[in-house]
Structure 1
Amino acid sequence: MKKILASVLFLAVSFSGFSQIKTPQPSPSSKLMQTVGLTDMTLEYSRPSMRGRTVFGDLVPYDKLWRLGANSNTKISFTTDVTIGGTKVKAGEYAVFATPGMSSWEVVFYSDTSNWGTPQKWDDSKVVAKAKADVYKMPVKIETFTMTFDDLTNNSAVLGILWEDVYVGVKIDVPTESIVSASIDRAMSGPGAGDYYSAAVYYLQEGKDIDQAKEWIDKSIAMSGDKAPFWQLRQQSLIYAKAGDKKGAIAAAKKSLAGAEAAGNADYVKMNKDSLKEWGAL
């Protein structure tokens, strides 16, 4: 009897010890954050690996709703309203599912994020947006399921999905232009030098009214006077060049160059010298 009790006690202690051992998850979780324009996007998903298996058409069947990863449903959140597949989606958090096909996928954004995998009962009223994504075959295989934010601009990003030899991407548009324009309108009721500078640089970057950008950068530099920093003078030179005022561009670039040399900023020294050479002033 004593031997039996001792054996039971040993097994109990052994199993108790095993329960405290931490091991890696087969599909580890991942969290990805990206700022797109003025919108913050956060993606949370789990990452299964191929491990010698055929993925699409086998492990992940064609034409059947997939959780887009493993474990709990994949989630994405936006801090502003966005547009997906032509549909406006309010700021908030959403589950992302997909129905893979051989040549294209349907990617669905769903308002209920509490599911483990796909919902037991699908509710069409919870679908906030759908997007069709063409399949692109890659020349190499991706072992572990991967999601990315690709092709970033001030106004959009592409939600990339990669696994095996497949890439699909869903474009997400953000309202940067309308937010910035509203901000500019508010600021112009009583703008400071920084407001004029930011508005002018945004117009330059986005290819908007360059004459308006020139007016704003001139006001910014005038308000700063002799204290205008070399990086602002650099933007003034670029705006003048874009507006076709080479003489003004050269004058601003020379001031920026002098300021950059005094500050010991080699990057701006080089950029200004390159521009002055391009404009025939060196």
Structure 2
Amino acid sequence: MTKSLWTLALVASLAGSVQAQIRTPQASPMATVSQGIGLSKATVEYSRPALKGRKMFGDQVPYGKVWRTGANMATKLTLDAEMSVNGKAVPAGSYALFTIPGQNEWTIILNKNTKAFGAFDYKEAEDVLRFTVKPEKLSTPAEYFTVEFTDFTPTTANLAMRWENVQVKFPLKQDSDAQIMAQIDAEVSKPDAKPGVFSAAANYYFDTNRDLTKARAWADKVVEADKKYWTYFLRGKIAAKQGDCKTARADAEAGLKMAQEAGDDAYIKNHKGILATCK
């Protein structure tokens, strides 16, 4: 190899070594958590710092100051549709989730600036919502900052944040009843409506304690179209709730036999439950 070629090779080798990087686990790894609420979804993207023997609240994270609520970029809450956050309507969109920790009270902040690194660029004028919550003491310390959805129902959930020995949470709600009722009215009136439509409508009326006469009529259509142990259960539970135990027992007995033949333990229990109700 000539001297000039050797020099070029050396330069290329040094350039490669300069560009090379050593990858190690992030100190505060990214995490994403989502929860379906009503007909929509709430998603939180955040970084998860660790205690590593340090005292956080009142020390590393001072009381009374805006905190990024995690590490690195500000934590982001995205709502797929308008939701109620702690009782206030918040439009669909993405929001930075800042907090102001305190010994006896935390301030929760939804802010428009989702591109902020930490709370350095935080501006109160960009707040969309502010409210306060009471912190709870954890019986077991949380090493990593954690965000999760708890206490959820089909239309509600609490967004909980915990770290060290503290947890705070607040409710989110997406009341989808009006949307669902509009769908039911539109779909069941179609001349080519399928049994699945009537089944969904009957179940929703049953679950929300609405007009059981309508629910029963839809369940009748479902059973007429497809006599299966799950369709018998649909009509049977509605009949039992109406007090029509004659129909409820007949459907439960027919459905129980079919469920036993299929080995479906869940529906065996369901039909036995109707029979127990209508002794």
TM-score range, shorter chain: 0.7 to 0.9
In structure 2, runs of 5+ residues without a counterpart are: 1-9
Q: Which amino acid aligns with 1:55?
A: M
Query: Residues 51, 15 of structure 1: CA spacing in aligned structure 2 closer, same or farther, 3 A cutoff?
Result: farther
Indicate conservation of the 8 Å contact 2:97/2:110, yes or no. yes
Map 1:101-116 onto structure 2 (within 5 A). Answer: 101-116=102-117
How is 1:120-269 mapped onto 2 (pairs within 5 angstroms)? 120-124=121-125, 126-190=126-190, 191-222=193-224, 224=225, 227-269=226-268
> For residue 26 of structure 1, what is the aligned residue in structure 2?
27
Can you list the C-alpha shifts for 1:238-262, whole angstroms capped at 9, x where unaligned?
2222222222221221122122233
Structure 1: gaps spanning 5 or more residues: 1-8
1:69–1:159 CA distance, 2 compared to 1 (3 A): same
> Is 1:50 equivalent to 2:51 in the alignment?
yes
Q: CA RMSD in A?
A: 2.4
Distance change in 2, residues 1:121/1:161 (3 Å): closer
Taking structure 1 as reference, are residues 66 and 178 closer, same or farther at Cα in structure 2, changes over 3 Å only? same
Q: Match for residue 279 of structure 1?
A: 278
Q: 2:93, 2:227 → 1: CA distance?
A: 41
C-alpha distance in 1, partners of 2:251/2:120? 61
Alignment partners' CA distance in 2, 1:37 and 1:109: 21
Query: Identity of aligned pairs, percent?
Result: 35
CA distance in 1, matches of 2:188, 2:265: 34
Cα–Cα, structure 1 residues 228 and 81, in superposed 2: closer, same or farther, change >3 Å? farther
Aligned residues between the structures = 268
Runs of 4+ in 1 over 6 A off after TM superposition: none
Hey, what's the Cα distance between the residues in 2 that align with 1:79 and 1:63?
31
User: How far does residue 142 in structure 1 lie from its aligned partner after superposition?
Assistant: 0.7
TM-score of the pair, normalised by structure 1: 0.86
Q: Find the residue that maps to 1:109 and give its secondary structure.
A: strand
2: CA distance, partners of 1:175 / 1:66: 31
TM-score, scaled relative to structure 2: 0.87
Distance change in 2, residues 1:232/1:150 (3 Å): same
TM-aligned CA distance change 1:121 to 1:137, over 3 Å? closer
Q: Supply the distance in 2 between the matched residues of 1:216 and 1:119 (Cα, whole angstroms).
A: 58
Q: Partner amino acid for 1:246?
A: C
Q: Who is 2:4 aligned against?
A: none
Contact between 2:109 and 2:130, CA under 8 Å: does it hold in 1? Answer: yes
Which AA in structure 1 matches 2:183? S
SS of aligned partner of 1:251: helix
**Contact conserved, 1:49 with 1:143, CA < 8 A, in 2?**
yes
Flag the 1:17–1:269 CA change in 2: closer, same or farther, 3 A: farther
* In structure 2, C-alpha distance between the alignment counterparts of 1:76 and 1:229, rounded to whole Å: 43
Shift of 1:208: 3.3
Whether the aligned pair in 2 keeps the contact of 1:105 and 1:134 (CA below 8 Å) is yes
- 2:222 aligns to what SS in structure 1? helix
Quick one: which amino acid aligns to residue 36 of structure 2? T
Indicate how the Cα distance of structure 1 residues 209 and 151 shifts in structure 2: closer, same or farther if over 3 A, else same.
farther
Secondary structure of the structure 2 residue equivalent to 1:201:
helix
Q: Which residue of 1 aligns with 2:68?
A: 67
Deviation at 1:19, TM superposition (A): 4.3
Residue 40 (structure 1) shift = 1.8
The answer to whether the 8 Å contact 1:154/1:176 transfers is no
Asked if the contact 1:84/1:130 (under 8 Å) is kept, the reply is no
